[in-house]
Amino acid sequence: MRRNRNVKIVATLGPASSDYKMIRALHEAGADVFRLNMSHGSHEEIAERHGIIRQIEADVGSPIAILADLQGPKLRVGTFANGSEELEDGAKFRLDLDDAPGDATRVQLPHPEIFEVMEPGNALLVNDGKIRLKVLECGPDYANCEVIAGGEISNNKGVNVPDVVLPLAALSEKDRTDLEFVLQLGVDWLALSFVQRAEDVQEARALAGGRAAIMSKIEKPAAVEKFEEILAASDGIMVARGDLGVELPVQNVPPIQKRLVRKCRAAAKPVIVATQMLESMIESPMPTRAEVSDVSGAIYEGADAIMLSAESAAGHYPVEAVTTMNNVAVEVENDPTYREVIEASRNVKRSTVADGIVAAAREIAEATHIKAICCYTQSGATALLVARERPWVPILALSSQRGTARRLALTWGTNCVMAGELERFKMAVVTAARAARSGGYAGPEDQIVVTAGVPFNMTGTTNILRVAPCDERLIFADDPE
């Protein structure tokens, strides 16, 4: 299904979007990738949604990416005798390991690993930062705190610890079970929560065993500090601004987002901007002007994808939310300023033959009347390099690997086409020409650029570029062999 835009849209599935009719409507409205949130829903529900997506994929005849988002370890306070308490600014409050019901002076924090690294002066944030505590003194089983920002605290509210790197693995036991389950289903991407270091990504990669690409969610200050190492270990990045905005001052998030997006682009790795993009559309059929500007900003930055969470999973207007995001993307990408911004932010260090081939493909396409860049790719690496160039003509990624085609559905500007294994470059050109014509990217009188690697069906061998006609008779006339 051809889109009139380059940025991709990720839609989260949930109670509001769980049957064939609704999920197909979301895809037709513009959703290129579906996110399965492992924090919600049983394995049976997740399997059912996965099956529906694959059925829609077969019905529409184009690859759809599925992203399984693992929950990660959840840090929560214990329970209160009265269910909740009101904490006053300036009051003293204690967190400890005692499982007795809490009151207005204390509550259990059943995570000894937090106390292990706690120091006086550290901040503790409860209920998405609505309650802020400052540690005055602490030990291996307690932390005496001052309430900096008070409010109602109730049973099992979440806790954030922004000032320290916690000695916790990114994968809980639930995550390990969920990981194996979704990999057996056949998801294309795994999103990791609570990433703090590159070792967290490497652990997940070892468990995945090549069955899915690994996406690291950047939602903690420690991940921002270690971003270069995390990026190198990951296949993609999600800028998860929700938790990031809790653990950091909110004014820090926009510049961090811009830096991370640029670094991902330079590394030729897809990046999603996520969280609260059209939050008001959970309840309203119309977004706020600020939300539209936020979505536009991510597109102008050159993000590969923008994501809907509760808007499509639990909102009243899931199709309208996807439609709005699609319309904003089309309008932004038709703005002459968008092209100027993208070209000004193109920061590519080229050091390989493949880098040179894809750069030449973009320059030839933009300097002439080439209609599309067609690249053969087994692992997806060549298509990622072409997308990094952000060309102004469509990218057709042809692959014999269905998993590769599905993963590339997340990548900027990439239109994925299944193609059989090839042994000769001439047939690669013919197949590319047929794909360009059948997809409406070019007519018989037009030309395309074709890149491939010889020998075929091997990873990392991109070494040929050809400008070719879309008329097969001319291809065979030019190359009678």
Judged against a pLDDT cut of 80, whether residue 282 lies above it is answered with yes
Q: Please indicate, yes or no, whether residues 175 and 207 belong to a single structural domain of this protein.
A: yes
Same domain, residue pair 116 and 217: no
Number of structural domains found in the chain: 3
Do residue 179 and residue 313 come from a single domain?
Answer: yes
Catalytic residue among 74, 76, 197, 262: 76
| In a shared domain, residues 133 and 224 | no
pLDDT at 381: 92
pLDDT interval class at 171 (50, 70, 90) = very high
Tokens of 266: 């330079």
- Strands (DSSP E) contained in 363-440 are 373-376, 395-399, 414-418
Residue 217 catalytic?
Answer: yes
Residues 414 and 310 in one domain: no
Q: How far apart are CA 32 and CA 13, in angstroms?
A: 13
Residue 21 lies in a domain: yes
**Domain containing residue 136:** 84-160
CATH number at residue 113: 2.40.33.10
Whether residue 286 sits in one domain with residue 206: yes
Confidence of residue 426 (pLDDT cuts 50, 70, 90): confident
Do 365 and 443 belong to one domain?
yes
Q: Are residues 156 and 176 in the same domain?
A: no
| 176 lies in the same domain as 153 | no
Query: Is 346 within the bounds of a domain?
Result: no
Query: What is the end-to-end Cα distance of the chain in Å, rounded?
Result: 34
Q: Report yes or no: 409 and 64 within 8 Å, Cβ to Cβ.
A: yes
Same domain, 302 and 431: no
Higher-confidence residue of 65 and 418: namely: 65
DSSP bridge pairs for 418: 399
The mean per-residue pLDDT over the stretch 168-184 comes to: 95
Residue 480's pLDDT is 46
* pLDDT digit string, tens, across residues 128-154: 899 999 999 999 999 999 999 999 999
Let me know: does 191 contact 274? Beta carbons within 8 Å: no
Contact between 17 and 4 (Cβ < 8 Å): no
Would 366 be classed as within a structural domain?
Answer: yes
Query: Which residues are CB-neighbours of 438 under 8 A, at least 6 positions away?
Result: none
How many angstroms separate the CA atoms of 323 and 27, rounded? 10
Judgement on whether residues 425 and 307 belong to the same structural domain of the protein: no
> Distance between CA 190 and CA 235 in Å, rounded?
10
Q: What angle do CA 42, 45, 50 make, to 5 degrees?
A: 125
Give the domain CATH number at 382: 3.40.1380.20
The per-residue pLDDT for range 289-343, each reduced to its tens digit, is 999 999 999 999 999 999 999 999 999 999 999 999 999 999 999 999 999 999 9
Among 114, 138, 160, residue at a domain's last position: 160
Instruction: Decide if 1 is inside a domain.
Output: no
pLDDT number for residue 347: 76
- Catalytic residue (choose from 205, 217, 406, 466): 217
- With beta carbons less than 8 A apart as the criterion, state whether 412 and 7 touch: yes
Choose, from 5, 8, 12, 35, the residue flagged as catalytic: 35
Q: Are 154 and 83 in contact (CB under 8 A)?
A: yes
Please indicate whether residue 35 is annotated as part of the active site: yes
pLDDT > 70? residue 479: no
As a three-state string, the secondary structure of 272-295 is EEECCCCHHHHCCCCCCHHHHHHH
Classify residue 348: in a domain, yes or no: no
- Of 141, 160, 179, the domain-final residue: 160
Last residue of a domain, one of 160, 190, 205: 160
SS3 121: coil
Is 76 tagged catalytic? yes
Residue 375 CB: number of other CB atoms within 10 A?
32
Can you give the CATH number for the domain in which 195 is found? 3.20.20.60
Give me the pLDDT at residue 458, please: 65
pLDDT at residue 460 is higher than 70: no
Reported as a pLDDT band with limits 50, 70 and 90, residue 459 is: low
pLDDT category of residue 452 using cuts at 50, 70 and 90? confident
Between residues 152 and 243, the one the model is more confident about: 152
pLDDT at 481 over 60: no
Specify the residue for token string 């089309």.
330
> Of 49, 265, 269, 275, which is the active-site residue?
275
Give pLDDT tens digits for 13-22: 999 999 999 9
Q: Do 298 and 435 reside in the same domain of the chain?
A: no
Three-state SS at 96: strand
In this structure, is residue 320 part of a structural domain?
yes
Domain-embedded: residue 252: yes
Is residue 154 one of the residues assigned to a domain? yes
> How many C-beta atoms lie closer than 10 Å to residue 283's C-beta?
10
- pLDDT tens digit string along 35-69? 999 999 899 999 999 999 999 999 999 999 999 99
Mean pLDDT of the chain: 94
